[in-house]
Structure 1
């Protein structure tokens, strides 16, 4: 039986195929006890300390005198926990904690090219970020305390002007739920929702990437600028005198237009761009290699014995002969492709998996190890 046709407790006992067909991008799904007995993976004090770091993206949201305020991190000082109506959002917690990374990876029934990060929201009583919508799919897993969710499939997505947050002007709830620890709510893109803490609570948000075509188009043109090859220089040996010196001539337009029309791109160009773009680390991501790295020979011996694993910060994808990791790409032969595809899918390799890799692949693994992209298991 195929894995995607088996009931998945995380989805409330429905199969992945059923979820994708009936709910993904289509309608909400409330899952009671998606993770039975779930407890917060990170204590409050540790989460607050994480928010104070400059390599962690965080936001402090407050609702004061009927007005929303937002402060970007690092969060050196937080409001008193006894004070109501404030929320701390800590983005990319999976990049900094193994347990958070393991939880995020449970959602890999959605491809890595779409899976983004795990955000933790800590809120005091009444805290929230206002009625809003996201442009991407999201799973909202309750970790601690209770949160009341009001949701609606409204078409009116008009926002209140002058706010630091995207707050819906005319929010109309159609359904209301109270989530307990272990409960989870899935929402498709642009589904209006408003979550309000009942007492102190923590919610884990598993979000997905949905880049705009404008963003992709601009990034692709920048990517292609390195490969454009248009030799020669504009010239007009047959230039004639003009009585309108400020007018751009048709000859110039035609000549330049003809040269620009020579710029073409292939499916391979799009693939390499997309692989590098999707694996490019976010600006706040920094890799740390080992303080005392093994020599290449010792690394190979140890890797073949113990195996290797990707750093939780590493993003790795593949397609055909192309491998993409952390914004870089390269083509591989058939033997190495099997091993590298397995590393991308499983995010780790046993020592036995490395038996047949080429010297080039082992050299790449050693460089990735030195850069902090992968680790010895």
Structure 2
């Protein structure tokens, strides 16, 4: 964040106003070239898209996987290739995400890298989430407008949500190492001045609608399908078209019973929900080996440690002297003596053998937890 301490950035800029940081990553080199990025876009499980501008009002978007012929047919200008979730598919690229872990992991969504031909863009638009835009290669001009955007301000007939009217308040040209932070809702327009590559580190911001919908799905799945409304001993209906008060009260009581959850239950549901992996990322997990505590001990005795699958999501919280660990949607209620190994597992992505042996010695029972995570592919053996 340049000269800003993380706490100052969070206090003055995070979700408040944009920030341009010149040479935030001084001397940075793009971690992969355009050909390698295009090669990833050929893969069936890697999310990718091609955005092309045909004229001022005509844009098109195509979704991968692509063929070599798709790239060979592109013009020299006015197109952009975007590849998302790269830190999950190429673990080495997680190094671009690590500097932003002064924010909690559950808020971090993914790393996207885009390659743009000269004049390439995705048009002026807004995002519903925070994003850091890091220039990796070439030059890109960014224009922003912090004024509120009319919901109806959209280019008619476009597949993309592009603003029909955009008047910039500020403008900068970013070169390799420069970074622009944008809070949600800020209109922005990036245009490649020459062939360029940009990394976008985006953050999750679940909507109220998404949260409630997912929670209700979870509630419904856990209900007894045989639990039904009943009205034994009811009075004769004065008018068969009336929903009488007793029936209304009984229905409301039945629903309130189903929805009754205390704060702890909601917190525990959120831990499972926010760490649940996407179905399209399951292929990133290695086929499980036959792990047990003896195999774990042998791995560590050889001097080889463990590492975390960069596609896995880990999180924990403490409530009423109980520790709750969440790993890819599964909950592990634990005693507080597990706090140190859980904190280390969630904080790091590499676990040297000496560190693992110390954790196992200091927290009896943690070997079983590590074996379970190894069997699920959340932890992996260092070869």
Give TM-score scaled by structure 1 length: 0.90
> What is aligned with 1:79?
71
Q: What is the alpha-carbon distance in structure 2 between the residues aligned to residue 303 and residue 252 of structure 1?
A: 64
> What is aligned with 2:60?
69
How far is the alpha carbon of 1:247 from its aligned partner? Answer: 4.4
- Contact 2:50–2:82 (CA<8 Å) still a contact in 1? yes
Gaps of 5+ in 1: 1-10
> What is aligned with 1:372?
377
How far is the alpha carbon of 1:215 from its aligned partner? Answer: 0.3
C-alpha distance 264-50 of structure 1, shift in aligned 2 (>3 A): same
- Contact 2:229–2:250 (CA<8 Å) still a contact in 1? no
- Contact 1:289–1:369 (CA<8 Å) still a contact in 2? no
> What is aligned with 1:44?
34
> What is aligned with 1:319?
317
> What is aligned with 2:215?
220
- What pairs with 1:95-106 in structure 2 (closer than 5 Å)? 95-106=88-99
- What pairs with 1:256-275 in structure 2 (closer than 5 Å)? 256-262=251-257, 263-275=259-271
> What is aligned with 2:189?
194
How far is the alpha carbon of 1:331 from its aligned partner? Answer: 0.5
- What pairs with 1:166-315 in structure 2 (closer than 5 Å)? 166-228=161-223, 233-243=229-239, 245-262=240-257, 263-286=259-282, 287-289=284-286, 293=290, 296-303=293-300, 305-315=303-313
How far is the alpha carbon of 1:341 from its aligned partner? Answer: 1.6
Q: What is the alpha-carbon distance in structure 2 between the residues aligned to residue 371 and residue 259 of structure 1?
A: 38
> What is aligned with 1:7?
none
> What is aligned with 2:360?
354
Q: What is the alpha-carbon distance in structure 2 between the residues aligned to residue 156 and residue 35 of structure 1?
A: 31
CA RMSD of aligned residues (A): 2.1
Q: What is the alpha-carbon distance in structure 1 between the residues aligned to residue 248 and residue 33 of structure 2?
A: 64
How far is the alpha carbon of 1:185 from its aligned partner? Answer: 0.7
1:55 aligns with 2:45: yes
Q: What is the alpha-carbon distance in structure 2 between the residues aligned to residue 137 and residue 241 of structure 1?
A: 57
How far is the alpha carbon of 1:252 from its aligned partner? Answer: 2.0
Task: Single out whichever of 226-235 and 46-55 deviates more from structure 2.
Answer: 226-235
Task: Single out whichever of 146-155 and 282-291 deviates more from structure 2.
Answer: 282-291
Q: 3-state SS of the aligned residue for 2:61? A: strand
User: Which one of the candidate residues 117, 126, 130 is aligned to 2:123?
Assistant: 130
1:19 aligns with 2:16: no
Gaps of 5+ in 2: none
How far is the alpha carbon of 1:172 from its aligned partner? Answer: 1.0
Task: Single out whichever of 141-150 and 248-257 deviates more from structure 2.
Answer: 248-257
- Contact 1:133–1:190 (CA<8 Å) still a contact in 2? yes
How far is the alpha carbon of 1:368 from its aligned partner? Answer: 2.2
- Contact 1:56–1:90 (CA<8 Å) still a contact in 2? yes
- Contact 2:288–2:377 (CA<8 Å) still a contact in 1? no
> What is aligned with 1:139?
132
Give TM-score scaled by structure 2 length: 0.89
How far is the alpha carbon of 1:370 from its aligned partner? Answer: 2.8
> What is aligned with 1:340?
342
Q: 3-state SS of the aligned residue for 1:26? A: coil
C-alpha distance 232-88 of structure 1, shift in aligned 2 (>3 A): closer
C-alpha distance 52-242 of structure 1, shift in aligned 2 (>3 A): farther
- Contact 1:151–1:174 (CA<8 Å) still a contact in 2? yes
Q: What is the alpha-carbon distance in structure 1 between the residues aligned to residue 43 and residue 324 of structure 2?
A: 36
Q: What is the alpha-carbon distance in structure 1 between the residues aligned to residue 28 and residue 350 of structure 2?
A: 26
- Contact 2:291–2:374 (CA<8 Å) still a contact in 1? no
- Contact 1:303–1:376 (CA<8 Å) still a contact in 2? no
